[in-house]
Amino acid sequence: MNYYQLSASSRQQLRQILRNLTGYKLTYSSCYQLEHQFHILAATECSIPNLELFIPSLNPLAQLNTPLATLWQWAQSELQQDLNWLKFENSASIGLNCANLIHQQIKISRSFLPLTESMLIINQTPDSFSDGGKFYQQFDKTLASIEQALIAGVSIIDIGAESTRPDASYVSSTTEIQRLQDIINGINELKSRYQFKLSLDSYKPSTIQHFLPLIDIVNDVSANLPAEYLRRISAENKTYLFMHSLSVPADPKLTLALELNPLDELNNWLQKQLERLSKLGFKPTQLISDPGIGFNKTMHQSWYLLKHIAKLHQNDLELLVGHSRKRFLNKVNCAIDGANRDNESAQIACYLTTQGVDYVRLHNYQTYHQQVMSLNQLQNNFNN
């Protein structure tokens, strides 16, 4: 078995490295963090050119010379699942979502969370289908909830002020800005204490232009912004998240044609979007695609797309899935209101982490984190 050390400054970069290794059957360790660097140890029977080969020592526990050496030895024991693994784990203390080992007064962390990152939905709307306006105009409550999520490992906060559910009322850009101004300012103040990205869920040019200096990601459910605004997003090095939809708000009567393969339809749409966006100056690293689960798809088409989600990766672009609490889940759960669909939403999100999805967009990260951390303790990761 060959072992390879993969290191980067973010989980995002680690995922990109793994994506470039598609074709090799890899098993890889948990994500380890040492200071500001992230690491995984990958194992394969093949030889991979241009990657640093890790030569394990004969006795890992006998040569704990540096924190980085300890990290790699811990990761190797995880992949081998030998007695050294138990020794490392017994020596580590348990944190909120990780195990911590102190070596030479430096902390080494093994994350219980996957490489897939969590995006938390924050609605500043009085008529949200999922939470009924739970956080609407409640500044302190909203910020406290966001801070708890960041401590727990959520890495993106996605905030919007207009519902896109079927039959939702239209909200003007002026109203959107009024609803969002104070809370976006407050969220940005949290960046002095936490590392995360702020995403704006809006398809209105005026709203996006107003908040562009304060956000990291433009989450456009229309995927149809005017070219001049897209050029501005690209020039300011922001990330553009674009979603497949046929109408905004969603019209349940307008769906993909039943006689067509939804995977082919979305891949064709994605290719056209890439051609358009590249001409407007976007680099692949600035783009995230979203298949729009539940938007203009029948419940059966949504389930089909989720089952085959790995086939929607194109041109090294990152992939986000926003399935949380949506009505297509009624195929397996007849719950009337969206808040009762959290278990199903979390189970699907766990599956998505095994399929190379980069981000899962959720209303309830707690249920998902509980499930995915347990799953990660029981199985190694694979990249086929």
Question: Final residue of a domain: which of 59, 87, 111?
Answer: 111
The pLDDT confidence band at residue 32, using thresholds 50, 70 and 90, is very high
The pLDDT confidence band at residue 64, using thresholds 50, 70 and 90, is low
The pLDDT confidence band at residue 315, using thresholds 50, 70 and 90, is low
Give me the mean pLDDT over the 2-14 stretch.
95
Q: Are residues 103 and 127 in the same domain?
A: no
Q: Which residue has the higher pLDDT, 134 or 38?
A: 38
Q: Are residues 107 and 169 in the same domain?
A: no
The pLDDT confidence band at residue 379, using thresholds 50, 70 and 90, is confident
CA-to-CA dists, residue 42 to 5, 80, 176, angstroms: 7, 11, 46
Strands 37-44 and 106-111, sheet pairing: unpaired
Q: Are residues 140 and 59 in the same domain?
A: no
Q: Are residues 94 and 143 in the same domain?
A: no
Identify the pLDDT of residue 339. 74
Q: Which residue has the higher pLDDT, 169 or 60?
A: 169
pLDDT averaged over the chain?
90
Q: Alpha helix (H) ranges present in the chain?
A: 11-19, 67-80, 83-91, 139-152, 173-189, 205-211, 227-235, 262-279, 299-307, 342-353, 365-378
Q: Is residue 143 part of a domain?
A: yes
Each residue of 268-280: pLDDT tens digit? Answer: 999 999 999 999 9
Identify the pLDDT of residue 78. 95
Q: Is residue 23 part of a domain?
A: yes
Q: Does pLDDT of 62 surpass 50?
A: no
Q: Are residues 282 and 243 in the same domain?
A: yes
Helix 67-80 with 83-91: angle, nearest 10 deg: 130
Q: Is residue 193 part of a domain?
A: yes
Q: Are residues 267 and 300 in the same domain?
A: yes
Q: Are residues 35 and 177 in the same domain?
A: no
Q: Is residue 94 part of a domain?
A: yes
Question: Final residue of a domain: which of 79, 111, 143?
Answer: 111
Q: Are residues 107 and 123 in the same domain?
A: no
Q: Is residue 316 part of a domain?
A: yes
Q: Are residues 231 and 359 in the same domain?
A: yes
Q: Which residues pair with 319 in a beta bridge?
A: 289
Q: Is residue 383 part of a domain?
A: no
Q: Residue 267 belongs to a domain with what CATH number?
A: 3.20.20.20
The pLDDT confidence band at residue 127, using thresholds 50, 70 and 90, is low
Identify the pLDDT of residue 336. 62
Q: Does pLDDT of 152 surpass 50?
A: yes
Q: Which residue has the higher pLDDT, 315 or 204?
A: 204
Q: Which residue has the higher pLDDT, 352 or 252?
A: 352
Give me the mean pLDDT over the 92-112 stretch.
95
Indicate the length of the chain as a whole number.
384
Strands 37-44 and 32-34, sheet pairing: antiparallel
User: How far, in Å, CA of 29 to CA of 42, rounded?
Assistant: 6
The pLDDT confidence band at residue 316, using thresholds 50, 70 and 90, is confident
> Concatenated DSSP letters for 210-256?
HHGGG-SEEEESSS---HHHHHHHHHTT-EEEEE--SSSS--TT---
| DSSP classification of residue 52 | P
pTM given for the model: 0.92
Q: Are residues 177 and 270 in the same domain?
A: yes
Contacts of 138 (CB under 8 A, 6+ apart): none
Q: Is residue 381 part of a domain?
A: no
Identify the pLDDT of residue 381. 72
- How many other CB atoms sit within 10 Å of the CB of residue 9? 10
Question: Final residue of a domain: which of 75, 94, 111?
Answer: 111
Q: Is residue 200 part of a domain?
A: yes
Q: Does pLDDT of 312 surpass 70?
A: yes
Q: Are residues 48 and 183 in the same domain?
A: no
- Of 65-69, 80-84, 164-168, the one with minimum mean pLDDT is 164-168
Q: Are residues 231 and 360 in the same domain?
A: yes
Q: How many domains does the chain have?
A: 2
Segments forming the whole domain that contains residue 27: 2-111
Q: What percent of the chain has pLDDT over 70?
A: 92
